[in-house]
Amino acid sequence: MADYESDKTGLATNETSGIWTKFSLVLGISTVGLLFFRRYFHGAKCRSLAQLTGKTVIVTGANTGIGKATALDLARRHARVILACRDVQKAKQAADDIQRSTHSQQLVVKHLDLASLKSINKFCDDILKTEPQLDILINNAGVSWLPKLTRTEEGLETQMGVNHFGHFLLTNRLLGLLKKSSPGARIAIVSSSLHKKGKIDFANLNAERGYNQFQAYYDSKLANVLFGQELHRRLESEKAGVSVYTLHPGVINTELNRHTMHPLLLKFFLRPLFWLFMKTPTQGAQTTIYCAVAGELEGLSGRYYGNCKEEPFPAVASRADESIAKKLWEVSERLTGLKED
Domain ranges (residues) in the chain: 40-335
pLDDT at 339: 82
Question: Considering 217, 245, 290, 304, which one is annotated as catalytic?
Answer: 217
pLDDT at 32: 45
CB atoms closer than 10 angstroms to residue 36? 9
Q: Is 218 a known active-site residue?
A: no
Distance from the Cα of residue 34 to its chain's centroid: 26
pLDDT at 62: 98
- For the chain, 341 residues long, give each residue's pLDDT as a single digit of tens: 545 455 545 545 555 555 666 555 545 454 444 444 445 456 799 999 999 999 999 999 999 999 999 999 999 999 999 999 999 999 999 999 999 999 999 999 999 999 999 999 999 999 999 999 999 999 999 999 999 999 999 999 999 999 999 999 999 999 999 999 999 999 999 999 999 999 999 999 999 999 999 999 999 999 999 999 999 999 999 999 999 999 999 876 555 444 444 455 444 444 454 445 567 999 999 999 999 999 999 989 999 999 999 998 655 544 557 899 999 999 999 999 998 76
pLDDT at 34: 46
CATH number of 40-335: 3.40.50.720
pLDDT at 5: 52
Which helix (H) or strand (E) is 4 found in, with range? Answer: helix 2-41
Long-range contact set of residues 45-50: C-beta below 8 Å, sequence gap at least 24: 45/283, 45/286, 45/308, 46/73, 46/286, 46/287, 46/289, 46/290, 46/293, 46/294, 46/308, 47/308, 48/289, 48/290, 48/293, 48/294, 48/295, 50/77, 50/293, 50/294, 50/295
Which DSSP state fits 295?
Answer: G
